[in-house]
Amino acid sequence: MATDIQDLLAFVAVVNAKGFREGARVSGKSASSLSDAVRRMESRLGVRLLNRTTRSVVPTEAGARLMERIVPALGEVEAAMDVVNDFRDRPSGTLRLNVPVSAARLVLPAIITPFLKSYPDIRLEVVTEESFVDMLAAGCDAGIRYDERLEQDMIAIPIGPRFQRFATAAAPAYLDVRGRPEHPRDLLGHACLTGKFPSGALPLWEYERDGETVSVDPSGPLIVRIGGAMDLAVQAAVDGLGVVHLFEDWLRPHLDSGALEPVLEPWWQRFTGPFLYYPGRRYLPSPLRAFVDFIHAQRGGDEPAREGVGTAGIFVN
């Protein structure tokens, strides 16, 4: 009962994208060709693999079991094909990275251009996610994550700044009217512009000074999805609507221009910078190996790779 590998790839693309239209956009195929491929597989196998509605496409139990088996297998096939790259003068192929929006905005810009100029035969695909995902199941080769705790069989190397801070800020005109907080608890009396995770959770704003840690549950007139939509909160803060709490590097242009004024700066919390993480198998696809080597060289080998010990990692967006 032979099944064409292109049909398998089409099925994986549709499941990962949760739909034929988005699967077509990501894979570069047409939605009709993906649909035909899945129908051929279902006909050959004699079982339904996907439940289709007007709003979503989700795998059946049989489809989910198939995904569990074929995703690692397809990864091995791709790795086997990539062995040929060892005989090329320059690495080539596609490198897929799964990253939070904060990393795409604050970490990758200083890396992407010099990397791609150094390896012109590599194509880089960056997928942004706002929540923890199975990077391999999502069809990516590696990811960027904050917090060095990793899943088992994952390797992590430092990438980008080793330490960052969360900053709190507001427009000077807003603070002239509402007053300048002297303690994090004073924020409870302010209009706070907040973010929400895809899960629906509203993160606390956390502060630390002289051994004292304070968590604030902010509220205010604007809530945005954490990630790219945080630019709306930043602009609202610049426009004088309220107080924003975000990566210092994200707010830095507005702080430097004076459009935003630092709030509670002695309390700003410092945290460890991000890590590039990838499977700890012996053989790495040549584009990923080139990227890992590039990051090591860029950092001067100042910090060793870390191995996962089975603890799930957490994105800080």
Q: Model confidence over 96-121: pLDDT tens digits?
A: 999 989 999 999 999 999 999 999 99
Residue 144 has pLDDT above 50, yes or no: yes
- What's the rounded mean pLDDT across residues 237-255? 97
Residue 266: per-residue pLDDT? 97
pLDDT confidence band for 311 (50 / 70 / 90) = very low
Residue 56 has pLDDT above 80, yes or no: no
Per residue in 222-244, pLDDT tens?
A: 999 988 799 999 999 999 999 99
pLDDT confidence band for 18 (50 / 70 / 90) = confident
- What's the rounded mean pLDDT across residues 252-277? 95
Please give the C-alpha separations between residue 179 and each of 168, 219, 261, in angstroms, as whole numbers: 14, 17, 12
Residue 264 has pLDDT above 70, yes or no: yes
pLDDT averaged over every residue in the chain: 85
- d(C-alpha 34, C-alpha 32), whole Å: 5
Per residue in 155-188, pLDDT tens?
A: 889 998 889 999 999 999 999 999 999 999 999 9
The residue among 212 and 18 whose pLDDT is bigger is: 212
- What's the rounded mean pLDDT across residues 45-53? 87
pLDDT confidence band for 313 (50 / 70 / 90) = very low
Most confident of 59-63, 210-214, 312-316: 210-214
pLDDT confidence band for 151 (50 / 70 / 90) = low
Tell me the H-state helices in 83-157: 101-106, 109-118
Residue 90 DSSP class: S
The residue among 211 and 258 whose pLDDT is bigger is: 258
Residue 29 has pLDDT above 50, yes or no: yes
- d(C-alpha 3, C-alpha 41), whole Å: 7
| Secondary structure class of 172 (helix, strand, coil) | helix
Residue 279: per-residue pLDDT? 83
pLDDT confidence band for 89 (50 / 70 / 90) = low
pLDDT confidence band for 10 (50 / 70 / 90) = confident
| Percent of the chain at pLDDT exceeding 90 | 47
Residue 146: per-residue pLDDT? 82
Per residue in 287-303, pLDDT tens?
A: 999 999 999 998 775 55
Residue 316: per-residue pLDDT? 35
What type of residue is 70? Answer: I
Residue 5: per-residue pLDDT? 81
- d(C-alpha 288, C-alpha 310), whole Å: 22
What type of residue is 249? Answer: D
Residue 241: per-residue pLDDT? 98
Q: What b/e readout covers 174-210, taking b as 16+ CB neighbours within 10 angstroms? A: bbeebeebeebeebeebbbbbbebeeeeebebbbbee
